[in-house]
Amino acid sequence: LKTGEAVVAALETLGHTVTRVFAGPGLDRALRAADIEVAFLALHGRMGEDGRVQGLLELLEIPYTGSGVLASALAMDKPMAKKLFQLHNLATPRGYRVGRADAERALELHGDSGFPCVVKPAKGGSSVGLSVVHDAGALVPAVVQACRFGGEALVERFVKGQEVTVGILGDSVLGSCEVAFPREGFDYEAKYKGGTQYFLPPRLSDTRRVNVESLALAAYRALGCRGYGRVDLLCSETENDVVLEVNTLPGFTPTSLLPKIAARAGLDFPALVQGVLDRATRDESHVAEAAPT
């Protein structure tokens, strides 16, 4: 809702006529009644960011901001995104998926993966349900907790280092920001309830920063993303950089990470909103006419 109100204010400042449509039961009817030209998606997490709303907009033939159906679904499914990163030879922490039915077998599935490890919902946002697990006894409770949010957990190797997020508009990097938080995991509390520090640019050498931004853009492209996005990475103390995830609809208030990055690149919040709107489109498929015989 905060993202939505911030976007509405910016769009109205730019002279656009804006209709608020709340995502929920009856969304298809609400969209038809709104009679809009384009949908600016101010949604986060499941349903809004996982391809379902994008699929509805495709059926209604309404252009929308951000990535298409497949890219949105792939980015939201963190274990699947991880497989695609590996397919494209992009470094990412080793991990595995655990369903709710197998939660009590988590230690058996963990095998020799070692500790500490990170446990989080396989499909989710805002770092809800995230835990850093230091020993075998805490693994099953952490998996059970993560499975509360969607029924599946992702368990992955813990990488100690600087968390860096890279902002992308269109198919170009806007810049990057280091997120330094007061505790071990960048969970919901750390993200939204204070104590976090931001460094723009990140505290990396220029060469390493450029490499991190290139890795982020490669991850964004590997999932087939478009429009805009934000890629989260970890830069380890051993000079290894790994991709964590791609956010296809990142937080979008003037104080959110992507707008912070855009501001340093010279784009104020209304200009960024307009840039995202300008790239609204659909996954249109055309059937070519048969060649003359």
**Which residues define the annotated binding site for Mg(2+)?**
232, 245, 247
What is residue 290's three-state secondary structure?
Answer: coil
Other CB atoms within 10 A of residue 174 CB: 24
Phi, psi (rounded to 5 degrees) for 166: -115, 130
In terms of DSSP bridges, do strands 241-247 and 161-169 run parallel, antiparallel, or are they unpaired?
Answer: unpaired
Measured in whole angstroms, the distance separating CA 222 from the mean position of its chain's CA atoms is 14
Phi, psi (rounded to 5 degrees) for 163: -90, 125
Burial of 293 (0-12, 13-18, 19+ CB in 10 A): exposed
User: Can you tell me the distance from the alpha carbon of 276 to that of 119, in angstroms, rounded to the nearest whole number?
Assistant: 32
CB 92 within 8 A of CB 86: yes
Annotated binding site: 232, 245, 247
Tokens of 195: 């104590």
User: Can you tell me the distance from the alpha carbon of 91 to that of 239, in angstroms, rounded to the nearest whole number?
Assistant: 12
